[in-house]
Amino acid sequence: MASSRDIPSSGRGIGDIASSFASSFRAASPLAQEIVARDIAECSEDEDVDDTSNFLESDAESVDGGHGPTLYRQPAGIEVAFGYRRPSLLLEPAEEPTRPVVTRAEKKQSRDAERSLLRDNHILPPKHGVEEQPGLLTKVYKRLFSTKVRKTPDDEEVPRIAINPSETAPLLPGRSADGSGQEEENLNEQWEAAVASGKIQTTWQREAQTIGKYSRSLIVTFLLQYSINIASVFAVGHIGKIELGAVSLAAMTANITCYAPFQGLATSLDTLCSQAYGSGHKHLVGVYVQRMIYFLGSLMIPVALLWVFAADILARLVPEPESAELAGLYLKIIIIGIPGFVALECGKRFVNSQGLFHATTYVLLIAAPFNAFISWLFVWHFGWGFVGAPVAVAVTQNLMPVLLFLYVVFVDGSQCWNGFSKKAFTNWGPMVKLALPGMIMVVAEWLAFEVLTLASSQFGTSYLAAQSILMTLTSTTFQLPFPISIAASTRIANLIGAKLSSAAKTSAKVAVCSAALVAVFNVIILSSLRYELPKLLTTDEEVIEFVAQIMPLVAVMQIFDSMACMAHGLLRGIGKQHFGGYANLLTYYLVALPISFGVGFGLDWKLEGLWSGVTLGLFLVAAVEYWYIYKSDWEESVREAEHRNASG
């Protein structure tokens, strides 16, 4: 659903990288360019020369003959890992980098993707020989799974590009000087000719394989990320319903007062670090990260003071004093985890700007199991009870930036660190100006659904505990459609950037069908296990009964949740994400939340009322966005992408 978020590190995730085409649907960032230019001007001449020479050397290796549009790009999403649970609104960084990072492996994958498409469209000869008389099983297999475009008698071969011979030209036709085929030598020309003549098509089999390949690792990553959140719920849920509700109340407070605004402010690094790295001034990446750490560090003081007195504040907002007291205790303890959270938010953008998107995944592979273990260890084995849950959270929050630091030192990423710099204490004003829009969007996103947790507390402890379980379950199921939507948006953006609007539409249809299948799966799981699933989180019979009663409605909501999530992805892919952001804001704040409060309190439907408004909101969002996507001119998106690519 488009819902709220959870404690420290819930999930989404990956990063925007590729060649010029990868950035074809992204706008330039004048403010960020101004900030980078100002910092470059303040650099010493030696720093400038060293950085530029290093950049030109590495860039010369990566240009690869001036190769233009590519058909491979790392799926976008990991850059927002650690901290997101369920996007209720369509998050957009305030500014976007103008030059994405391309690694050598990605260039090779891009070339391979182009070559494969040319073969599937019968423009290049097949990789393997074709059987003259294939058997029945071979025919069935090809019919179901072959990615080749069906060739009609009217198809004409794309004319090969004639290359004028030179002194280094191969002597034998069809072979290049280094022994590779002429198709390899003229791949760029063949690709451009095929695109210009409209001969590049795709099949649903190819798009299903591509989206599946993109999303499979993301699903694992996001589930690992979210496991850090639900570990606290699992750990304290069996203590009692008061403790379970207190965890949810503490999570809501932490999200609204710290995690959401801090993450929103840190989104400016997505732009600044990428532009600094892309311009060749790698040392500025480290400077920007230091600057944001110091800025967020200064904000930690008022947040810590607020959390110290959180129990007294919450006692005035919720009717259950014991829940407010435990939530306040939880917040007091996790104060010690805020520095780690800040360091991680900035550190992950440090590595992402360099194209090291798997660094955060490696951190999760260690941190997620460790967090689950210490949650059990502190809460149950050591007998600390409720106190053990926030201690485990704080330990994990401080561990993850340490693991990321070790990755940078011993694996990769240290080339952008030139030590601590006094420049990190200057030019805060422009950075904050760049960061504020992102913060506003993130806070609005989290607030839209965290407020439902506060509303559920008005119905009593059992309802608050049930709300905590429902949010945990629906946030977990959301980790399936959201990665697929990220993969779909990446693939569609690639095809749009390569001027293949017809292929992009085919990919979009496959993505929508994938979302529908995931929705059916989630509906079956939640509806058939509506009594068994809450038992994983609590032993209180009253809470289990409340959850089971509302679960059919929540199961139906999965259909609209999954479809709305995919609509967000399609909008990102065609470069119309602004419409999705505004549609979500208006729908949730003007329709969903008023209905939730109206039927929840006015008609005394309690939790059923709160979730009814959310379900209706998701339906409206999905309907409006799919209508907009259907009416959109995809050729216009291609032209806009081409214009941005040229200007960038």
pLDDT in tens, 581-608: 788 888 888 999 999 999 999 999 999 9
Task: Give me the long-range contacts of 588-596 (CB less than 8 A, separation at least 24).
Answer: 588/2, 588/88, 588/89, 588/448, 588/449, 588/617, 588/621, 589/448, 591/616, 591/617, 591/620, 592/448, 592/616, 592/617, 592/618, 592/620, 593/448, 593/451, 593/617, 596/452, 596/455
- Average pLDDT for residues 265-292, to the nearest whole number? 86
Residue with tokens 């901290």: 83
Say which residue, 154 or 394, is predicted with more confidence.
Answer: 394
- Residue type for 224, please? L
pLDDT exceeds 50 at position 13: no
pLDDT in tens, 606-618: 999 999 999 999 9
Say which residue, 27 or 337, is predicted with more confidence.
Answer: 337
Output the six-digit token pair for 278: 């892309």
Identify whether 162 is part of a domain: no
Q: Which of 126-130, 215-219, 252-256, 440-444 has the highest mean pLDDT?
A: 252-256
**219: closest CA among 75, 91, 110, 113?**
75
Identify whether 622 is part of a domain: yes
CA distance linking residue 362 with residue 153, whole number of Å: 51
Identify whether 195 is part of a domain: no
CA distance linking residue 196 with residue 107, whole number of Å: 22
pLDDT exceeds 80 at position 37: no
**609: closest CA among 620, 594, 597?**
597
* Residues near 135 by beta carbon (within 8 Å), at least 6 away in sequence: none
pLDDT exceeds 50 at position 89: no
- Longest Cα–Cα distance of the chain, Å, equals 87
CA distance linking residue 85 with residue 472, whole number of Å: 9
Mean pLDDT of the chain: 78
Element (H, E) at 172: none
- Average pLDDT for residues 106-132, to the nearest whole number? 70
Identify whether 178 is part of a domain: no
Q: What is the reported pTM?
A: 0.80
Displacement of CA 552 from its chain's centroid (Å) = 29
Geometric angle at alpha carbon 546, from 383 and 556, rounded to 5°: 120
- Residue type for 596, please? S
Identify whether 428 is part of a domain: yes
The sign one gets for the Cα dihedral 242, 244, 248, 254 is: positive
Output the six-digit token pair for 282: 């790698």
Give me the domain span that covers residue 454.
20-25+203-647
pLDDT exceeds 70 at position 414: yes
pLDDT (0 to 100) of residue 439: 80
- Average pLDDT for residues 54-81, to the nearest whole number? 46
Structure-derived torsion over alpha carbons of residues 164, 645, 347, 93, reported in degrees to the nearest 10: -170
What is the percent of the chain where pLDDT is above 70?
A: 72
pLDDT exceeds 70 at position 32: no
Burial 373-395 (b: 16+ CB within 10 A, else e): ebbbebbeeeeeebbbbbbbbbb
Geometric angle at alpha carbon 579, from 578 and 585, rounded to 5°: 90
What is the percent of the chain where pLDDT is above 90?
A: 41
The sign one gets for the Cα dihedral 594, 598, 599, 605 is: positive
Identify whether 114 is part of a domain: no
Identify whether 52 is part of a domain: no
- Average pLDDT for residues 78-100, to the nearest whole number? 42
Neighbouring-strand partners of residue 14: 78
* Residues near 145 by beta carbon (within 8 Å), at least 6 away in sequence: 205
Please state the three-class secondary structure of 404-443 as a single string. HHHHHHHCCCHHHCCCCCHHHHCCHHHHHHHHHHHHHHHH
Output the six-digit token pair for 510: 């496959």
Give the confidence band of 430 by pLDDT, cuts at 50, 70, 90. Answer: confident
Q: Which of 4-8, 220-224, 433-437 has the highest mean pLDDT?
A: 220-224
Identify whether 85 is part of a domain: no
pLDDT (0 to 100) of residue 442: 72
Helix, strand, or coil (residue 632): coil
CA distance linking residue 117 with residue 123, whole number of Å: 9
Element (H, E) at 577: helix 577-587
Alpha helices in 156-259 (DSSP H): 182-185, 187-196, 204-237, 241-254
- Average pLDDT for residues 252-271, to the nearest whole number? 88
Quickly list DSSP for 288-313: HHHHHHHHHHHHHHHHHHHHHTHHHH
**Are the C-beta atoms of 359 and 413 separated by less than 8 Å?**
yes
pLDDT in tens, 124-151: 777 666 666 666 676 665 666 666 677 6
**116: closest CA among 512, 497, 503, 645?**
503
CA distance linking residue 218 with residue 223, whole number of Å: 8
**Are the C-beta atoms of 79 and 266 separated by less than 8 Å?**
no
pLDDT exceeds 70 at position 74: no
pLDDT exceeds 70 at position 252: yes
Give the confidence band of 179 by pLDDT, cuts at 50, 70, 90. Answer: very low
CA distance linking residue 47 with residue 219, whole number of Å: 41
Domain count, the chain: 1
- Average pLDDT for residues 502-515, to the nearest whole number? 93
CA distance linking residue 126 with residue 103, whole number of Å: 28
